[in-house]
């Protein structure tokens, strides 16, 4: 084990405020803006390059020094700026991409030493103990990443359509979906076997918490929405599945596909702020709830636009 500053030059990033920068649409120039997020490789926006402030180059590691997911660490695959309380690690020795990713995991596993509000990592990050490359498991160096070289490509070569929400229309959920309560075995009855996906009211891993030997009860190509637990988390489910009662199943009345499903689940999650443990999102409320969607000339949901938007985004080739 060695202190981090013996393996990396550690500094504290651009220290910029996003509200003072100019955001640009993804795919239309600019550089990544890395905040203290634990998702999307830490990237929270794309911004114009500032005159006189060169961005950091690709291949460096960013580390969140505060926030609820403190020590979230990522290898940046493009030029970037950082927010406040984000550290930059520049290797002092040649490192492969695989080795950098392993360091990210090692750093993040020290999160238990800190707290989001009481003890942050600003002063102690440099001396954090991490394994040396000679101590890495063999699979780290031998892992072949060749098949992942183009994962950031879009599904189609198309300029990302503009999201002008002022021209969207409002629709009740029961106009678009038949909504039913989730059904399946109890989570405590799972024994680690089976092939049927078991969906719970989680906020991660597409809601998947395990597998069951039970036959699937709900059809694939539908959407699961949490009424309890992580309320309003929504995930597109491609395969038939079982679920707990805390997940409601949205069975489409239209031709749903994975691209439209991902567009819709993103919008459904925007309803989180309306609900809590005290105010659950039950079926009656769901049926009456309103969702705003892009519309065509006839005022109907523009499913083609939604699909094109998702297919135009980076990484959509992996869907």
The domain locations on the chain are 2-148, 165-318
CATH no. of 2-148: 3.90.220.20
Tracing tokens 């550690």 back to the chain, one arrives at 10
Tracing tokens 């490192």 back to the chain, one arrives at 95
Nearest residue to 281 via CA among 294, 272, 290: 272
pLDDT in tens, the chain (319 residues): 999 999 999 999 999 999 999 999 877 789 999 999 988 899 999 999 999 999 999 999 999 998 778 899 999 999 999 999 999 999 999 999 999 999 999 999 998 887 655 566 888 999 999 999 999 998 888 887 766 667 778 888 888 888 889 999 999 999 999 999 999 988 888 887 899 999 999 888 999 999 999 999 999 999 999 998 888 999 999 999 999 999 999 999 999 999 999 999 999 999 888 876 677 788 999 999 999 999 999 999 999 999 999 999 888 888 8
N-terminal to C-terminal alpha carbon distance within the chain: 39
In whole angstroms, give the CA distance from residue 202 to residue 211: 14
Tracing tokens 């009740």 back to the chain, one arrives at 172
| HSE-up of residue 127 (Cα within 13 Å, Cβ side) | 4
pLDDT the model gives residue 141:
81
Q: What is the CA 165 to chain-centroid distance, rounded?
A: 22
pTM of this prediction? 0.69
Burial class (CB in 10 A: 0-12, 13-18, 19+), 31: buried
CATH architecture of the domain with residue range 165-318: Alpha-Beta Complex (3.90)
pLDDT the model gives residue 150:
73
pLDDT the model gives residue 295:
97
């Amino acid at each position: 084990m060695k202190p981090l500053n013996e393996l990396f030059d550690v500094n504290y990033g651009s220290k910029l405020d996003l509200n003072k920068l100019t955001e640009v649409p993804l795919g239309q120039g600019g550089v990544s803006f890395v905040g203290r997020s634990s998702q999307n490789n830490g990237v929270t926006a794309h911004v114009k390059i500032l005159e006189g402030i060169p961005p950091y180059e690709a291949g460096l590691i960013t580390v969140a020094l505060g926030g609820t997911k403190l020590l979230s660490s990522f290898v940046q695959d493009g030029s970037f700026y950082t927010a406040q309380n984000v550290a930059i690690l520049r290797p002092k020795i040649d490192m492969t991409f695989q080795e950098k990713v392993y360091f990210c995991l090692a750093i993040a596993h020290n999160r238990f030493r800190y707290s989001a509000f009481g003890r942050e990592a600003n002063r102690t990050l440099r001396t954090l103990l991490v394994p040396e490359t000679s101590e890495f498991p063999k699979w780290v160096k031998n892992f072949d990443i060749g098949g992942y070289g183009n994962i950031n490509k879009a599904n189609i070569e198309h300029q990302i359509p503009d999201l002008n929400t002022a021209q969207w229309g409002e629709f009740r959920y029961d106009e678009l979906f038949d909504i039913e309560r989730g059904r399946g075995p109890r989570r405590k009855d799972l024994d680690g076997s089976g092939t049927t996906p078991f969906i719970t009211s989680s906020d991660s891993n597409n809601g998947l918490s395990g597998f069951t030997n039970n036959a699937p009860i709900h059809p694939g190509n539908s959407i699961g929405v949490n009424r309890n637990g992580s309320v309003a988390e929504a995930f597109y489910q491609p395969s038939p599945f079982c679920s707990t009662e805390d997940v409601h199943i949205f069975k489409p009345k239209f031709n749903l596909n994975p691209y439209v499903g991902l567009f819709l689940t993103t919008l459904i999650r925007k309803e989180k702020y309306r609900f809590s443990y005290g105010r659950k999102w039950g079926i009656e409320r769901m049926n009456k709830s309103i969702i705003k969607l892009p519309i065509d000339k006839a005022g109907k949901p523009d499913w083609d636009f939604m699909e094109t938007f998702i297919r135009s985004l980076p990484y959509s080739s992996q869907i």
